[in-house]
Amino acid sequence: MIYYIYFSGTYDNNNTMKIVYVFLTASLLYSIYIPTKKFVKNEPVLTFRKSEIEINEKGKPVSFLWLQIIDWKIEKEEDSSTYYLTIETADTKKRINISWLDKGPSEIEELLRTYKTR
């Protein structure tokens, strides 16, 4: 397409087509770049610390102090084999899909118990 639009001579007088094509190409490259960046970066989804748990949500870390957490539970969705971690504080309630993580639901549950009781 780049050759056809810019170098074939067909659209030499049509600058509008060239500008539209630049924007379409830029949006396509951006839509490919963002998922590839996330895949290559390989950021942790859950980070357990002595004082808090950090959840990486769409590239932005969200932290909850262990003292803020009122309740947490790991639930299996009825119709599938998908597990969710639900963390509840006085202000918010977060639900995270943990089925695709390296550690299984039982290992994550053990980590939650260990860090929550500290």
CA dist 90 and 30 (Å) reads 38
User: Quick check: 74 and 96 in contact, CB under 8 A?
Assistant: no
User: Quick check: 115 and 63 in contact, CB under 8 A?
Assistant: no
pLDDT of residue 57: 79
In the block, residue with structure tokens 């969200």: 62
pTM: 0.62
The DSSP element (H or E) to which 106 belongs, if any, is helix 105-116
CA dist 8 and 12 (Å) reads 8
pLDDT of residue 40: 76
- Each residue's pLDDT tens digit in the chain (118 positions)? 776 766 777 767 777 877 888 888 889 899 998 778 767 776 678 999 999 999 887 778 889 999 999 999 999 988 888 999 999 999 999 998 888 888 899 999 999 998 887 7
User: Quick check: 72 and 112 in contact, CB under 8 A?
Assistant: yes
Considering the domain 46-116 in this protein, what is its CATH number?
A: 2.30.29
The ranges assigned to domains in the chain are 2-41, 46-116
